[in-house]
Amino acid sequence: MMNYRYSRHYTGPVQAVIFDWAGTVFDFGSFAPTQVLIDALAGFGIEISMAEARIPMGLAKWDHIRALGDMPQVAARWHARYGRPMSDRDVDAVYEAFMPLQVSKVGDYSQLISGALVTVAALRGKGIKIGSCTGYPGVVMQALTPIAAERGYAPDCIVATDDLKAGGRPGPWMVLENVIQLGVSDVAACVKVDDTVPGIDEGLAAGMWTVGLSVSGNEVGLSAEEWVALPTAEQARKRTAAEKKLYLAGAHYVVDTIADLLPVISDIEARIARGERP
């Protein structure tokens, strides 16, 4: 009896690039989610720093609040104020306070990152579909999507963190929903672009190529103006630290911003043509 083993490697072009939103396409420094979380917790008498708020970035917002409450220093502040650990019911209460703030303020922070529209147009010119997913829930995306469209960005697919029963990052479900909606024939033909570790985890879990963004996103955490004002040596230090974290998460590539993406896509296509897999 003969044994047959079928093997196949995708060797075609990149079919889809799936972008995160804050810190990737919009909101240089990713301030909309973090600052609003700081404001929401302040309403409960709990002060957290911007650095603390950034630690769980990339997760769904309820999970982000839960992760903050589980951090020892934040847990100690909550216990000091309320005499007990933060419960899931407390997380619900913070989340309910957070959501209207996020909806009302998301547009204020969501300016396009320099080079985003040029990059997206160039990708579309190559026949590549533009997907997207986010740690924002659907109600926030209902507010943000028309603002983004007015500013020139309208991806072919948008998946919010609460759109799927399976959940959000770091699992693969949102990017796999992009694969389904966009009609991509092979996950190896997809590139996930994100500024956070959970976003890189998401792409890897789905079997995709992953590109981390070091400067525009959560890991550096500065506005574009603050970044430009830094001395060159300090920029290098912050960039290196962010790159290291994203590479350690498994990113195949790390670049500064979305404006640096096109050469990476060309390199990925060359690797795919050689039979390489993510």
Could you give the residue numbers annotated as active site? 20, 61
C-alpha radius of gyration, the chain, whole number: 19
Q: How many CB atoms lie within 10 A of CB 34?
A: 26
Q: Which residue has the tokens 């990708």?
A: 123
Torsion of the alpha carbons at 163, 166, 167 and 172, rounded to the nearest 10: -100
Structure tokens given for 128: 């590549």
Tell me the C-alpha distance between 235 and 221, whole Å.
Answer: 12
Q: Looking at the DSSP assignment, which residues form a beta bridge with residue 212?
A: 194, 254
Contact of 104 with 149, CB cutoff 8 Å: no
Amino acid 150 reads E
How far apart CA 109 and CA 107 sit, in angstroms, is: 5
Site of tokens 């993510």? 278
Residue 203's closest CA among 166, 231, 239, 178? Answer: 178
